[in-house]
């Protein structure tokens, strides 16, 4: 391996670790913000902050002209999926479930992508795909029933449904974007340029604008800056600079344990044994899938 490749991999690992470190904090930020405001209010504030941040980065890289000229036909539907639909559903799940459960369930998006690729892209499932799915969704069942696996009674059926629906939306978004040739920053800014006006209208005709306090404002800004903004940029830099994507893809497995610890220390959530067991099964399934295919990971919270 050349010194230049080694240097690039070292930088990529640092960028990847930075992104994972930020993603590890957002479950806590979600729960703090949602204690003061509705999912829609949080979504609007965070999207506005992210749109401004990404807009500055687009302008500084000389991409603003390209962003204004083309790509809006794709952005028209992509922006409705991400940020609008995905994050509203995700925040709805976090609003109803303990943060540890919503976070763990959200990690099944990679498996949802593998299964959706069968009808959408004509791909085939391998035996390893099926085994990985069975293991991971067994973890989902453990978390959804909070350990009472033989009782078909979910602690919060709607919350679980929203968390799993968010994984389907995220996977579907990236599968439909497989042929999107827009630069990542341009695509992100255009999507949020579509999403922010839609969220503004929804907020005005719904709960309306309201002041929720400085804590809520700080948490909302944090989500916009780090979950939707800086972490996205760091992960893109990591993926594009590393010699093999698998070297950084495994970093995502560091995020859940740190997230659990922060939820315990900051929010005060007791860590449920069912969450630990379910998360272990989910990560085990994801590990099998990555070991088989070593896929390119998509930025996710």
| Structure token pair of residue 241 | 């600079």
Residue 247 has pLDDT above 90, yes or no: no
Q: What is the pLDDT of residue 6?
A: 65
Average pLDDT of the residues in 15-21: 88
**Total residue count of the chain as it appears in this document:** 301
Q: What is the pLDDT of residue 196?
A: 96
Q: What is the pLDDT of residue 285?
A: 86
Average pLDDT of the residues in 63-82: 92
Residue 238 has pLDDT above 50, yes or no: yes
User: Cβ(76)–Cβ(253) under 8 Å?
Assistant: no
Report how far residue 274's alpha carbon sits from residue 85's, in angstroms, rounded to the nearest whole number. Answer: 29
**110, 219, 269, 299 from 171: Cα distances, Å:** 7, 26, 28, 11
Quick one: what percent of the chain has pLDDT higher than 70?
Answer: 90
Higher pLDDT, 300 or 44: 44
Q: What is the pLDDT of residue 153?
A: 67
For 221-246, what is the HEC assignment?
Answer: HHHHHHHHHHHHHHHHHHHHHCCCCH
Higher pLDDT, 280 or 242: 280
Residues 76-126 pLDDT 10s: 999 999 999 999 999 999 999 999 999 999 888 878 888 888 887 777 878
Provide DSSP, 95-134: HHS-HHHHHHHHTTHHHHHHHHHHHHH-----HHHHHHHH
Lookup result for tokens 């992104």: 19
Residue 286 has pLDDT above 90, yes or no: no
Domain boundaries, the chain: 3-293
Alpha helices in 61-108 (DSSP H): 64-69, 72-79, 86-96, 99-106
When pLDDT is cut at 50, 70 and 90, the band that residue 301 belongs to is: low
When pLDDT is cut at 50, 70 and 90, the band that residue 243 belongs to is: low
**What is the number of other CB atoms lying within 10 angstroms of the CB of residue 19?**
26
CA angle 280, 257, 293 (to 5 degrees): 55
Residue 1 has pLDDT above 50, yes or no: no
């Amino acid at each position: 391996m050349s010194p230049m490749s080694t240097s690039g991999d070292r930088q990529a690992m640092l960028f990847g670790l930075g992104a994972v470190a930020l993603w590890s904090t957002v479950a806590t930020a979600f729960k703090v913000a949602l204690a003061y405001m509705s999912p829609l209010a949080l979504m609007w504030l965070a999207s506005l902050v992210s749109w401004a941040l990404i807009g500055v980065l687009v302008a500084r890289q000389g991409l603003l002209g390209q962003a204004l000229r083309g790509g809006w036909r794709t952005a028209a539907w992509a922006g409705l999926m991400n940020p609008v639909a995905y994050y509203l559903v995700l925040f709805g799940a976090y609003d109803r479930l303990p943060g540890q459960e919503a976070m763990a369930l959200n990690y099944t998006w990679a498996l949802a992508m593998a299964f959706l690729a069968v009808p959408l892209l004509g791909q085939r499932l391998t035996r390893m795909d099926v085994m990985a799915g069975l293991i991971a969704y067994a973890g989902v069942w453990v978390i959804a029933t909070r350990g009472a696996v033989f009782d078909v009674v979910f602690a919060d059926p709607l919350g679980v449904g929203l968390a799993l629906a968010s994984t389907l939306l995220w996977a579907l978004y990236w599968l439909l974007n497989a042929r999107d040739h827009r630069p990542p920053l341009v695509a992100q800014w255009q999507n949020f340029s579509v999403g922010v006006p839609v969220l503004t209208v929804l907020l005005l005709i719904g709960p309306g604008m309201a002041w929720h306090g400085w804590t809520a404002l700080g948490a909302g800004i944090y989500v916009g800056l780090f979950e939707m903004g800086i972490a996205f940029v760091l992960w893109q830099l990591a993926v594009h600079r590393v010699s093999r994507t698998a070297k950084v893809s495994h970093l995502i497995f560091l995020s859940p344990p740190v997230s659990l610890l922060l939820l315990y220390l900051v929010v005060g959530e007791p860590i449920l044994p069912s969450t630990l067991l379910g998360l272990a099964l989910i990560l085990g399934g994801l590990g099998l899938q990555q070991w088989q295919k070593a896929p390119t990971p998509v930025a996710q919270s």
